[in-house]
Amino acid sequence: MNIGTIVTAMVTPFDRNGDLDPAEAQRLARWLVDRDNDGLVVAGSTGEGQTLDRDERIALWKAVKDAVGERACVIANAGTNGTRESVSAVEDAAAAGADVILAVVPYYNKPTQGGMIKHFAAIAEATRLPVIVYNIPGRTGANMLPETLLEIVAAHPNVAGVKESSGDLKQIGTILQRRPQHFKVWAGDDHLFLPCLAMGADGVVGVASHLCSREYRRMFDAYRAGRIDEAAEIHRSLLPLIDALFATTSPIPVKWAMNQLGFHAGECRLPLDGMPESLATSLRPLLAAY
């Protein structure tokens, strides 16, 4: 399956009561696909997936897949900090129609590298769908080393890629140097998309791409066509937006931004709180361009 280049980790809309709003999720998903997104991560970190219960996750995966059909790849975040729970979520995601599984390195537990290997083996063996590993040590407290990732990939051919959010360009470069041909690497940090492309990465799983997916596409196309100066100019022009969207815990700013654009995304669920007014003041003028 061609998962694509520009993938957005989609926010999850909640209604005024704080309940899941599947219809609004469908509207947002269609809009994102219309704006050149190849895929959508559903119920991931940006989608507040760890605050959703099982029934909500299943309903959300199904709603988004029904909305976009074959126009885009629906990537279901099924990873938790428990292996049994993750395997069960993988089965739920497949039954809901997801195209791909995303599974985060287990959070809070601080698993050993050996534990990670066994955890992802259980996930990969539970499905025929492609599996993307999500490495984000800033949120999980544990970093999957390149050697560990490559051992998992060698043993399980359906482990098809990694969303690398370690922020460590040396680590990302090591993975790119040693990966098998079929294995894809997506930058997991918006501000590192172009640096990762320069090392041979395949795309981005972004947050800012809610707003600037078309600019990301132009940057990718320019870089691949050898127009390096053009790609660099686009990258630099997006940095103020990216800075503002990560000036406090994500997805608080991007969810606020989507509300400003006319979507009914609602508030983040606790323990995340509302958008600071000082940050809203700095982000608001940037929205007009996107």
Residues with catalytic annotation? Answer: 134, 163
Distance, CA of 52 to CA of 233 (rounded, Å): 39
Q: How many CB atoms lie within 10 A of CB 268?
A: 22
Quote the distance between the C-alpha of residue 233 and its chain's center: 24
Query: What is the distance between the alpha carbons of residues 101 and 191, in angstroms, rounded to a whole number?
Result: 24
Nearest by Cα to 9 from 102, 128, 133: 102
Query: DSSP string spanning 63-117?
Result: HHHHHHTTSSEEEEE---SSHHHHHHHHHHHHHTT-SEEEEEPPPSS---HHHHH
Are the CB atoms for 175 and 162 separated by under 8 Å?
yes
Whole-number Å distance between alpha carbons of 49 and 57: 7
